[in-house]
Amino acid sequence: MKKNKLIFITVTLILFLCINLFTHFEDIPPGARIAGLNNCATAVGDDIFTSYFNPAGLENTSNIELGMDYNRLHIGLTDGSNISSNLVLISKKFDNLGGIKIGGVLFGYKQLDLQNYYAERKYTIGYGRTIHIFKNFINFGIKINIFNKSYNKTRYTEMAVNLLTGESKNSIDPVFSSGYSKTALGLDFGLIYKFFENHNLGLLVENINEPNIGLKDKDVISRNIKIGYMFKHFKLKAITDLMLYKDSIIFALSGEREINIFQTEKLFLRGGLGFGSREYSNLSFGVSFVYKEMFQFDYGFNYLLRGLANLSGSHQVSLIVKFK
């Protein structure tokens, strides 16, 4: 019994610290390719995952695309915590409908679990469109997100425990007095500007309305601003992102190289480095295998160079199916 109590207190403290450092709905890379690029994707917008990241790229996707992603986070936590996330996406591009150019739409569902204790769910509807201005292309997009977080009911939430002393208060924790879950609505807006032939500039503003997801007290999902640049030369892409969060700044740079294997198969290698305030430092790499431009298998790895110690990093795998 003492062991279970210790695990609960330890996990709760870790969750409390993560929430205060990164707020709810942490900015986890949506897709293994983006993970390998060190979360740099603001100016990319060329497949379903990068278009989920920045909806401005939705008209650059195939006719129909399906995306599935699994992420095992922070392997090696000393208390044995199992933290994972899953993401499922579907997008559709409408070239013309009744003579009117519509653009691209996307639907997504994402879930993050701290096994047996906590879960986050995010439902997304996205739209993107390309317009021409002075012979250049500007892509714009919006995302409407429904955020939901929930805690599991345990004997420790029903009989509040002082985390410092371990003493029970013999009553429900005041945080959960109005329930164990909360839902809120958020809005994102993105742009990708293609200037010259091989240069992209990207802008993404997430959580414009700063939705309140607090159970008892106000606890907003903070507004984030991301500015990105991508340069493409032959089969090489160089990508950078500047990420402005409420209380931190991160700069990341990455590269991606395409390698032809056979006539219908390709291999992509990528890697990146991110660093910023609050001693943030992160290393990433990844690989993709593309078969007949229809199936794409991605793997991404992220490793914190500072912060949580003795971990084995975060491992992420994705699958994209494209229908021309």
What mean pLDDT comes out for the span 259-278?
Answer: 93
The SS3 of residue 280 is strand
| Displacement of CA 80 from its chain's centroid (Å) | 23
Can you give the pTM of this predicted structure?
0.85
> What confidence tier does 241 reach under pLDDT thresholds 50, 70, 90?
very high
What pLDDT score does 165 carry? 67
φ, ψ of residue 257 to 5 degrees: the values are: -125, 130
What pLDDT score does 169 carry? 66
Cα of first residue to Cα of last residue in the chain, in angstroms, is 57
For residues 221 and 228, is the Cβ–Cβ distance under 8 A? no
Could you give the CA distance from residue 225 to residue 180 in angstroms, rounded to a whole number? 30
Given a cut of 60, whether residue 76 has pLDDT beyond it is no
φ, ψ of residue 34 to 5 degrees: the values are: -70, -35
Could you give the CA distance from residue 206 to residue 250 in angstroms, rounded to a whole number? 15
For residues 75 and 315, is the Cβ–Cβ distance under 8 A? yes
What pLDDT score does 27 carry? 82
What pLDDT score does 11 carry? 46
Structure-model confidence comparison of residues 296 and 155, the more confident one: 296
Tens-place pLDDT, residues 18-48: 433 344 778 889 999 999 999 999 999 999 9
Could you give the CA distance from residue 66 to residue 59 in angstroms, rounded to a whole number? 15
Given a cut of 50, whether residue 268 has pLDDT beyond it is yes
Q: By percentage, how much of the chain surpasses pLDDT 90? A: 56
Tens-place pLDDT, residues 62-75: 899 999 999 887 66
Which residue is it, tokens 């958020």? 186
Give the mean pLDDT of the chain.
85
What pLDDT score does 132 carry? 81
Which residue is it, tokens 């491992």? 315
What mean pLDDT comes out for the span 109-124?
Answer: 88
The SS3 of residue 298 is strand
What pLDDT score does 164 carry? 66
Could you give the CA distance from residue 260 to residue 290 in angstroms, rounded to a whole number? 10
Q: By percentage, how much of the chain surpasses pLDDT 70? A: 81
For 133-137, 138-142, 168-172, which range has the lowest pLDDT when averaged over its residues? Answer: 168-172
What pLDDT score does 157 carry? 67
Tens-place pLDDT, residues 177-208: 677 889 999 999 999 999 888 999 999 999 99
Could you tell me which of 210, 212, 194 has the C-alpha nearest to residue 202? 194
What pLDDT score does 278 carry? 82
Question: Which tokens sit at 243?
Answer: 């990420």
What mean pLDDT comes out for the span 142-146?
Answer: 98
φ, ψ of residue 4 to 5 degrees: the values are: -65, -40
Domain 2-323 superfamily per CATH: monomeric porin ompg (2.40.160.40)
Cα angle 210, 301, 73; round to 5: 55
What mean pLDDT comes out for the span 261-274?
Answer: 93
Structure-model confidence comparison of residues 52 and 216, the more confident one: 52
For residues 227 and 241, is the Cβ–Cβ distance under 8 A? yes
